[in-house]
Amino acid sequence: MNPFQHGKRFTLSEGQRFLLLAILIGMFSGLMVVAFHIMIDLISWNSLGALSGTLRYGRLISPALGALVATYLATRVFPAARGSGVNQTKAALYISDGFVDPSTVPGKFLACSIAIGSGNSLGPEDPSLQMGAGVASMLGRIFHLGRKNMRLIAPVGAAAGIAAAFNTPITGVLFVMEEVVASWNAGVVGSIVLAAVSSVVVVRWFLGDEPLFRIPALQFQHPSELLVYAAIGVVGGLLSAGFIRLIEVLHNRLKGLPHRTQLIQALCGGLLCGFVGLWLPEVMGAGYDAIDFALHGRFPWDLLLILAGAKLLVTLICFSTGVPGGMFAPTLFVGAMLGGGLAGLAHHYSSLVTSPLGAYVLVGMGTFFSGVFRAPMTSIFMVFETSASYVIILPVMIANTISYFISRRLHPVPFFTMLARQEGIDLPSAEEYRSTEVLRVEDAMQPLPEGMTLEQAPPIYPDVTLDAALRLLADHALLCVVSRANPQVPIGVVSILDVRRAYGFPESGPILPETPEASSQGQGGRSGQ
């Protein structure tokens, strides 16, 4: 039937409408990110010069002033805009039914563009993600979405925001699936992809389709180089765990100071950033230009290591003192400089390094990101997407995975979870969720008692989740586990006691809600939340 037929009302299914809304969210987010990008550039050009180097004394003063104004805006004018964009989006998804305060969007836009543009060592991606989530939440409310769809709308906007910020649609989708939603949920993948693609299209329409970095021709020269890449992964993992710990400690200490010192803290953070910037202007702002030059071999290896250390320090200070901005760009910077520096060092003492330094800069870029944010897939695809080089994928996978496992081992609490806990919010950790084992009937079942027949208890398959079994056990004392291949053959039994034992609950008494610690110990049961 022709939907446009005269007299007939044109209708779309709910799913189709949601997808169309995702496109709208992508377009709005893309426009916001374009404006954000332009604003940061304009502020940066006028306060620091193109290379963060032409106005020497501007470099000292500008970050401090920027930090002061931005923190004032974020704390006094737009208090809802404080905090991590990822955690706000997760809070919208899990706690506030998709509600993101509308003031978040202008708040993040103004505060972060001033902070980053004036040279503070922070990145624009997390604010972009949050603005995307904010725009999505607003649109969701305008279109009176129901509770379920409202909860989903924030991650859709977040994907659009981060994809536009990186100009990489796959990375945007992966990050949100990996870090925010934490599961490959078919219901939202389509919307997230559409939003990410439409936002990137808008960004490319205005800013051109140039990638984030201009990658020189790279090639993987010899398998022995993988040792160096693995070493970069090891150092990246160690350093990222240490970095999270330092942020945890410093952030906590500074949060404990009186509220009135917030602006002074930010001012000091900006001043320190400017002071370091007097000698190393590359560490100021997001640092993408410096990464680009490092990829092209501008810096010697010793300077690369110094830059990595300096960026680590100023980012730690800027972030911990509460200057608004994201952490993605600084982590990429630190990783890139670390990769190049370590490769240069290795080249100095051995013959293992045969590729140009740019290859190690590129691989290193993802290692620190992977270790800090515990998003290994995102980090791999981000490097792949920004380099458009398939050759580099193997070293990237090795280095990033090593970094991820080492960081996870040394500091089990992921970065965003740590921040959320410091804010007093208990958000489900994507990483913890991924490592959670879903318990099934076969994990609890007992051998079939002698003489027991199928007719004596309702049948259940061994691969059914214990949650489902638990619901059936509310009405029956015992379930008969039957073979999936032949349901006429009983293979075991399961009772409420077996289920309690499998979950690690006491054999009697009430079952208490799970604590985050219990969750991280690998026990199932989150599905009941």
Query: Rounded to the nearest whole angstrom, what is the least distance from the CB of residue 250 to another protein in the complex?
Result: 31
Considering the rule CB under 8 A, would residue 146 count as an interface residue with another protein?
A: yes
Per the CB < 8 A criterion, the answer to whether 161 and 33 are in contact is yes
Residue 233 Ramachandran class (φ > 0 left, ψ -120 to 50 alpha, else beta): alpha
CB-wise, 239 or 332, nearer to another protein?
332
Among 143, 275, 405, 505, binds another protein (CB under 8 A): 143
Dihedral sign for Cα 281, 287, 293, 294, please: positive
Considering the rule CB under 8 A, would residue 147 count as an interface residue with another protein?
A: yes
Among 293, 405, 461, 505, binds another protein (CB under 8 A): 293
* Spatial separation of the C-alpha atoms in residues 451 and 69, rounded to whole Å: 79
Q: In what order do the strands lie in the sheet with 459-460?
A: 459-460, 478-482, 490-495
Among 93, 263, 402, 445, binds another protein (CB under 8 A): 93
* Spatial separation of the C-alpha atoms in residues 427 and 420, rounded to whole Å: 7
The CA-atom distances, in angstroms, between 256 and each of 265, 268, 269, 407 are 12, 16, 16, 27
* Spatial separation of the C-alpha atoms in residues 502 and 485, rounded to whole Å: 25
In the stretch 261-280, what mask flags binding to another protein with x, by CB under 8 A? --------------------
Enter the tokens of residue 456: 């004596």
CB-wise, 124 or 322, nearer to another protein?
124
In the stretch 440-479, what mask flags binding to another protein with x, by CB under 8 A? ----------------------------------------
Considering the rule CB under 8 A, would residue 289 count as an interface residue with another protein?
A: yes
Among 45, 56, 221, 249, binds another protein (CB under 8 A): 45
Query: Rounded to the nearest whole angstrom, what is the least distance from the CB of residue 41 to another protein in the complex?
Result: 7
CB-wise, 13 or 508, nearer to another protein?
13
Q: Are strands 459-460 and 478-482 parallel, antiparallel or unpaired?
A: parallel
Beta bridge pairs of residue 490: 482
Query: Rounded to the nearest whole angstrom, what is the least distance from the CB of residue 210 to another protein in the complex?
Result: 5
Closest CA to 120 of 229, 186, 43: 43
* Spatial separation of the C-alpha atoms in residues 403 and 231, rounded to whole Å: 9
CB-wise, 160 or 266, nearer to another protein?
160
CB-wise, 26 or 236, nearer to another protein?
26
Q: Is 501 helix (H, G, I), strand (E, B) or coil?
A: helix
DSSP at 217? P
Render 53-98 in DSSP notation, one character per residue.
-S-HHHHHHHHHHHHHHHHHIIIII-GGG-S-HHHHHHHHHHTSTT
In the stretch 215-234, what mask flags binding to another protein with x, by CB under 8 A? xxx-----------------
Per the CB < 8 A criterion, the answer to whether 347 and 284 are in contact is no
Considering the rule CB under 8 A, would residue 522 count as an interface residue with another protein?
A: no
Among 110, 116, 139, 312, binds another protein (CB under 8 A): 139
Considering the rule CB under 8 A, would residue 97 count as an interface residue with another protein?
A: no
Considering the rule CB under 8 A, would residue 166 count as an interface residue with another protein?
A: no
Closest CA to 102 of 115, 116, 88: 88
**According to CB under 8 A, which residues from 177 to 196 bind another protein?**
181-183, 185-188, 191
Among 298, 347, 476, 501, binds another protein (CB under 8 A): 298
**Interface ranges with another protein (CB under 8 A):** 10-12, 14-15, 17-18, 21, 24, 27-28, 31, 34-35, 38, 41-42, 45, 49-51, 53-54, 93-94, 139, 142-152, 181-183, 185-188, 191, 206-208, 210, 214-217, 289, 292-293, 295-298, 356-358, 428, 433, 526-527, 529
